[in-house]
Amino acid sequence: MCEVEEDYNGLECKQEKIPVPTLNRKCMKCKEGTAVLIIRVSDAFCRSCFKEYFIHKFRAMLGKNRVIFPQEKVLLAVSGGAASCSMLSQVIEGLSRDAPKKLRFMPGIIYIDDGGACGRSQEERQRSIDQLKSIFTQTGFPYFIVPLEQVFALPTSVLVPVTSDPDLSNPSYKHAVDQYIREEQKLTEEDPASAVTRLSVEDSAYSPEHKLALESLFSSLKTLTAKEDMLHTLRQHLILHVARENSFSKVMMGENCSRLAVKLLSNIALGRGAALASDTGFSDPRFGDVVIVRPMRDYSSKEIAAYCRMFHVPSVFIPGLDTKAQDKASIQRLTETFVTNLQAEFPSTVSTIYRTSEKLHTVKPSESQAAEPASKCLLCVCALDTDVDKASAFHATLVSEQLSQIKLQDVSHDALRCVETQCCGTGGCSSNRFPAHQDLKTLLCYSCRLTIKDMESVDTLPAYIMTEAERRRKRSLMKMEISEYLLEDGD
């Protein structure tokens, strides 16, 4: 071993020093400009090269996947944060006349005001809305500001996945591009003003009853983990409803790779392993007619923060459920703290987790399962992962829950036999003894069952969820009654 002040052949053994980045470092791309930003250890960019790199990354993500066709209506889900606002700026940049690879879709903006679930006052909510309105108005895109209380006025059709039929008029992406160019030239020659996007604003109001119902719903959830999961689900339902009502076929989310890395690990802890490909992939086709895309999934939070600061992208900070919460307040919060601290010590942590999510794929269901709404979860609309054998660990968990409920409620032997046979008699029958929890759980995936389990009462759920649950329950009973007259798939 080398020791202090020990000589070897006249040479002193010195500890090797890691080179510290200097201010006069050159850009790695143009080799001429002075670097103003170091993304990774060897990736130093000047101002102009970093902007070109950021824009190219966004266009390359859309061009590589080719999910968004020309003339499609795309809804941009903007939360006010840096990621979604930088996504909005990239769309504005791509739709400009001098863009080298111009975007050809028709955008709209939606903001879900979830201040009622987060305990914000009406003055704070209105202040944030006014700030976002000033940003949205400058874009010239149609925008929708929808309060979360509107979930109590949604129709039941939100939870019914719609099968998207292929558009025969656009059989290929290249054909759709050519058709778009011809129609755009025709509009410009006839009437240039007709090609300008008109501004339309929808600012939904909510009633005091809906406000009280939302407060009652989130007060019945006992843990912050369940509250965050329920908030994400209700927000998705609102975005889906607005997209369908206004003929938007795609929804853009501003989730970056840092956020998706945290989401992947937290979803595994929440029991959503079967839906990881849909929750973290570039496209999420679970709803059928409306596809969710994530064009910002290649950006790190550091890149987005640097871009917003350097090029003055406006954003609005809006407190959420986990703002100023402790590290162990929820599974999502704990996972975020773990990944962030690990990323500070090992810079390749987020990229490793993110690259793992790219290799995940969802098993395609059969045609009969895809056409049957009962094969989808009632809340997250993902494929049910609870149809397993009796020898599985999930079935053992269900049996343990039933036995613990029977022991806690001090049920007699006749009631126990009633539970085993699933009859509809009186006395200790399960249909009278268990509230809607038991009936609702059969329609949910494993993760959503855990969320409902943390609720004090399912009666606080919005009416469209309970109505769809009752409809599926009746349909299942009817199918059981006529099962002997039905033909199997093989027949």
Distance, in Å, from the CA atom of 368 to the CA atom of 375, rounded to the nearest integer, reads 9
33, 35, 27, 91: which is closest to 62 by C-alpha?
Answer: 91
pLDDT tens, residue by residue, 47-94? 999 999 999 999 989 888 888 888 899 999 999 999 999 999 999 998
Q: Cα angle vertex 82, ends 77, 123, to 5°?
A: 75
CA-to-CA dists, residue 163 to 49, 290, 305, 484, angstroms: 43, 10, 38, 28
Output the tens digit of pLDDT for each of the chain's 491 residues: 444 444 444 444 444 444 545 557 888 888 888 888 888 777 888 999 999 999 999 998 988 888 888 889 999 999 999 999 999 999 999 888 676 678 889 999 999 999 999 989 999 999 999 999 999 999 999 999 999 999 999 998 888 877 654 443 444 555 555 555 555 555 444 443 333 333 444 555 678 899 999 999 999 999 999 999 999 999 999 999 999 999 999 999 999 999 999 999 999 999 888 888 889 989 999 898 899 999 999 999 999 999 999 999 999 999 999 888 899 999 999 999 999 999 988 888 998 898 887 787 766 654 444 446 667 889 999 888 777 666 566 667 777 766 766 655 554 444 445 544 444 444 444 444 344 556 788 888 889 999 998 999 899 999 999 999 999 888 888 888 887 777 766 55
Distance, in Å, from the CA atom of 374 to the CA atom of 361, rounded to the nearest integer, reads 22
**How many Cβ atoms are within 10 Å of 309's Cβ, its own excluded?**
11
Q: What is the DSSP letter of 163?
A: P
Q: How far is CA 128 from the centre of its chain?
A: 22
- pLDDT at position 400: 72
SS (H, E, C) 4-37: CCCEECCEECCCCCCCCCCCCCECCCCCCCECCE
The encoded tokens of residue 38 equal 């170091």
- pLDDT at position 409: 55
Residues contacting 200, CB < 8 A, separation 6+: 142
3-state helix, strand, coil in the chain (%, to 5): 50, 10, 40
- pLDDT at position 102: 82
- pLDDT at position 39: 83
Domain 66-374 - what CATH class?
alpha beta
**How many Cβ atoms are within 10 Å of 60's Cβ, its own excluded?**
13
| Positive or negative torsion for Cα 258, 261, 267, 273 | positive
Distance, in Å, from the CA atom of 411 to the CA atom of 269, rounded to the nearest integer, reads 34
- pLDDT at position 411: 47
Please report, as a single letter, which amino acid is at residue 33: G
Distance, in Å, from the CA atom of 213 to the CA atom of 148, rounded to the nearest integer, reads 11
Contact 77, 131 (CB under 8 A): no
pLDDT tens, residue by residue, 288-329? 889 999 999 999 999 999 999 999 999 999 999 988 889 999
Question: What residue spans in the chain does CATH classification 3.40.50.620 cover?
Answer: 66-374
Please report, as a single letter, which amino acid is at residue 119: G
Distance, in Å, from the CA atom of 39 to the CA atom of 447, rounded to the nearest integer, reads 36
- Let me know if 267 is exposed, middle or buried by CB neighbors in 10 A (0-12, 13-18, 19+): buried
72, 298, 104, 292: which is closest to 184 by C-alpha?
Answer: 104
CA-to-CA dists, residue 218 to 79, 227, 461, angstroms: 20, 6, 9
| Size of the chain, expressed as the number of residues it contains | 491
- pLDDT at position 6: 45
Contact 45, 37 (CB under 8 A): yes
Please report, as a single letter, which amino acid is at residue 297: R
Q: Are strands 7-8 and 11-12 parallel, antiparallel or unpaired?
A: antiparallel
Contact 454, 225 (CB under 8 A): yes
364, 375, 365: which is closest to 444 by C-alpha?
Answer: 375
- pLDDT at position 354: 84
Q: What is the DSSP letter of 354?
A: H
197, 285, 200: which is closest to 245 by C-alpha?
Answer: 200
113, 249, 277: which is closest to 176 by C-alpha?
Answer: 249
**How many Cβ atoms are within 10 Å of 2's Cβ, its own excluded?**
9
- pLDDT at position 182: 57
Contact 406, 416 (CB under 8 A): yes
Distance, in Å, from the CA atom of 46 to the CA atom of 34, rounded to the nearest integer, reads 6
